[in-house]
Amino acid sequence: MQRICLFPGTFDPVTLGHTDIIDRALPLFDELIIGIGINATKVPMFSVEQRVEWIQEIYRHEPKIRVASYEGLTVNFCKAVNARFILRGIRYVSDFEYEKAIADINRKMEHEVETIFLTCSPEYSTIASTLVRDVIRHGGDAAQFLPEPVAKAIQNKKP
pTM here is 0.94
Residue 108 designated active-site: no
pLDDT digits (tens, 9 = 90+) for 68-81: 999 999 999 999 99
Q: Any known ligand binding at 91?
A: yes
Q: Which of 24, 64, 91, 100 is catalytic?
A: 91
Task: Assess if CATH 3.40.50.620 describes domain 4-156.
Answer: yes
pLDDT above 90 for 157? no
What is the separation, in whole angstroms, between the first and last Cα of the chain? 50
61 catalytic per annotation = no
Closest CA to 74 of 31, 109, 32: 109
pLDDT recorded at residue 155: 87
The angle that helices 74-81 and 93-109 make with each other, rounded to 10 degrees, is 60
Give the pLDDT score at 158. Answer: 61
Instruction: Write the pLDDT tens digit of every residue in 89-127.
Output: 999 888 899 999 999 999 999 999 999 999 999 999 989
Catalytic, 24? Answer no
